[in-house]
Amino acid sequence: MIWIGVLIVLLTFVAIVKRYETRLVLFAAGLAMAAAAGKPLAAFDAFAKAMINEGLVTTICTVMGFSYVMKLTGCDSHLVQCLTGALTRVKFLLIPGSVVLTWLLNIALPSTAGCAAAVGAILIPTLIKSGVHPAMAAACVMGGTFGSLMSPGLVHNPFIAKLAQIDVMAVIAGHTLPVLVALAVASVTLTVVCQLRHEGPQAALPGNAEADAEVQRVNFIKAVIPIVPLALLVLGSKQLALLPAVTVPQAMIIGAILGFVVTLGNVQEITKTFFKGMGESYGEIIGIIVAAAVFTEGMQIIGLTGALIEQMKQSQDIARYAATFGPYLLAILSGSGDAAALAFNGAVTPHATQFGFTISDMGSLATISGAFGRTMSPVAGATIICATIANVNPLEIAKRTAPGMFLSLLTVLFLFSNR
């Protein structure tokens, strides 16, 4: 049975790499393993149980509903325009600053593809106009798209919090230092790559002078709204406790209401958009969690999870490297850091204490690794969006982001290993 499970898992990874529908692949694999073990209905039970996961559904759906409202009201573009305008005044900080700027915006706009589109549409043409090579301009945006690791709306953070039975902000606090160090490594490395390739703002390219972002007068009140929910969560967290504690849904609903107040938009349209965002996030994001739960249940039933845990018990290094390089490599090949990280965190991370780790640390390590792999993947959705805006081959972006992501991965592995 274990070897049948190994074969199914390998076929699952192949299918994900070939970019078959992730939810279909994970669900089918979990069902196949459960059926092979003679318990096919257990897969359906896991499916139903994951559908009503209170902590995950309420958090992720309200975050995406708020995100949709910010896009409808234009508050997100005002925030991007505001920060981009300040950045372009300091030329020597243009490359690392663009990475950091995207990273910060990705916290407020946690959808990787959505952030790449919103930020890239303004920042990439601005960088090109400043003389930055188009592929490097796209790489600056793509290189900062792991800022969502600091967002309570990222699917993995509430997932890990649920496993560890701790607050989602405690999970984020636990990996804040490694992620900040990784940000420094990634931005500095991309700057070095830019200098070595002579693709910085001093090397103006002919034919790009007319490239420009859509200019609008920045409304600073609107620009502040996207970061209000995050500020409420951080200031009300147990770590700071400067404000009364608020839940993620409360913070996001407050943000959506403020979006309506400052824009005085059509309240019916804003309401429809909020619930549309909630619905689409359930199908797109919660759907992956549900399918991953079926996959995890299949591994458990067929005995593969137990076998893996027994092997990892023999060495902490095996567990550490599996959590690091497994999600990382699969994310590079598939363009998605979610499938591998969710599968690993669902099957192995609950047993982290048996390997000498906390659940939060092992879960965060797998999540961060998947994010780094996705950031340097030429087939990731966000990479393709940036490539389209910059009119370059996605592989050219991956060539520029890869050194920084690999060094960031090694840095994070070192920091987690020496806690």
188-238 pLDDT per residue, tens: 999 999 999 999 876 444 443 333 444 457 888 998 998 898 888 878 877
Write out pLDDT tens, residues 89-125: 777 788 999 999 899 888 887 878 878 887 888 889 8
Q: 3-state secondary structure string, 331-395? A: HHHHCCCHHHHHHHHHHCHHHHHHHCCCHHHHHHHHHHHHHHHHHCCCCCHHHHHHHHHHCCCHH
Q: Which two tokens stand for residue 81?
A: 């325009």
Most trustworthy range by pLDDT among 44-53, 82-91, 133-142, 152-161 = 133-142
Instruction: Provide the whole-model pTM.
Output: 0.78
Write out pLDDT tens, residues 150-196: 988 888 999 999 999 998 999 999 999 999 999 999 999 999 999 99
| Count of CA atoms in the C-beta half-sphere (13 A) of 227 | 18
The pLDDT of 286-308, averaged and rounded, is 85
Q: Which two tokens stand for residue 134?
A: 């188009």
Residues belonging to the chain: 419
Asked if 63 and 105 count as a contact pair (C-beta separation under 8 A), the reply is no
The amino acid present at 69, given as its one-letter code, is: V
Q: What is the pLDDT of residue 310?
A: 76
Separation between Cα atoms, residue 4 and residue 6, nearest integer Å: 5
Q: Can you give the C-alpha Rg of the chain in angstroms?
A: 21
Asked if 153 and 161 count as a contact pair (C-beta separation under 8 A), the reply is no
Q: What is the pLDDT of residue 67?
A: 84
Q: How confident is the model at residue 19 (pLDDT cuts 50, 70, 90)?
A: confident
Write out pLDDT tens, residues 72-81: 998 888 888 8
CA dihedral 248→250→251→257, nearest 10 degrees, is 140
Alpha helices, DSSP H only, in 236-266? 248-263
Distance between start and end Cα atoms, the chain: 37
Q: What is the pLDDT of residue 205?
A: 44
Asked if 23 and 283 count as a contact pair (C-beta separation under 8 A), the reply is no
Instruction: Provide the mean pLDDT of the chain.
Output: 86
User: Residue with structure tokens 């690392």?
Assistant: 96
The amino acid present at 296, given as its one-letter code, is: T
More confident residue, 92 or 275: 275
State the residue range of the domain holding 176.
2-417
Q: What is the pLDDT of residue 211?
A: 37
Q: How far is CA 58 from CA 63, 117, 222, 282, 334, in A?
A: 8, 25, 25, 10, 28
Q: How confident is the model at residue 316 (pLDDT cuts 50, 70, 90)?
A: confident
- The answer on pLDDT for 138 being more than 60 is yes
Q: What is the pLDDT of residue 207?
A: 43
Interior/surface letters 77-98, b for 16+ CB within 10 angstroms, e for the rest = bbbbbbbbeebbeeeeebbbbb
- Portion of the chain with pLDDT greater than 90, in percent: 40
Separation between Cα atoms, residue 418 and residue 175, nearest integer Å: 13
Q: What is the pLDDT of residue 242?
A: 85
Q: What is the pLDDT of residue 216?
A: 58
The pLDDT of 260-273, averaged and rounded, is 90
Q: Is the dihedral of CA 151, 93, 141, 324 positive or negative?
A: negative
Tally of domains in the chain: 1
The amino acid present at 374, given as its one-letter code, is: R
Write out pLDDT tens, residues 363-392: 999 999 999 999 999 888 889 889 988 999
- The answer on pLDDT for 419 being more than 90 is no
The pLDDT of 311-325, averaged and rounded, is 80
Q: What is the pLDDT of residue 206?
A: 44
151 C-beta neighbours (distance < 10 Å), count: 22
Query: Cβ contacts of residue 319 below 8 Å, gap of 6+?
Result: 312, 348, 352, 355, 356, 357, 362
Q: How confident is the model at residue 347 (pLDDT cuts 50, 70, 90)?
A: confident
Separation between Cα atoms, residue 136 and residue 202, nearest integer Å: 13
